[in-house]
Amino acid sequence: MNQTVVSDQEEWLKILGKGMVTLPKKWREDLGISSGDVVKAKKQGSKVIIEPAQGQKVPYRVYSKAEIEEFLKDDKLPLELTQKARKVL
């Protein structure tokens, strides 16, 4: 789909699967937003406002694959307890 440019500050964008939208490259450059950055989105009436974090502390953490594997390992029930739970359920 070709994007129709209305002005430097306004464009029509298509909503993709899972609600994804691509911000124009020029906007990302102007706002200092790079791939993997966290942005804040808020709904104001019928508008959606997307703001770059730009030094703000955000309540967001990305865990490494090793950390996730450790969480899963720690969360796994011992075999004896698993069998006991299956009997009860």
Task: Note the pLDDT of residue 2.
Answer: 59
How many domains does the chain divide into? Answer: 1
| CATH number of domain containing 33 | 2.10.260
Paired tokens of 43: 């709904």
Q: Which domain holds residue 75?
A: 5-88
pTM of the full structure: 0.54
* pLDDT, tens digit (0-9, with 9 covering 90-100), for 24-52: 999 999 999 998 888 889 999 999 999 98
Higher pLDDT, 45 or 8: 45
In 3D, which of 29, 32, 31, 50 has the Cα closest to residue 41? 50
Paired tokens of 79: 């075999």
Above pLDDT 90, what percent of the chain?
A: 42
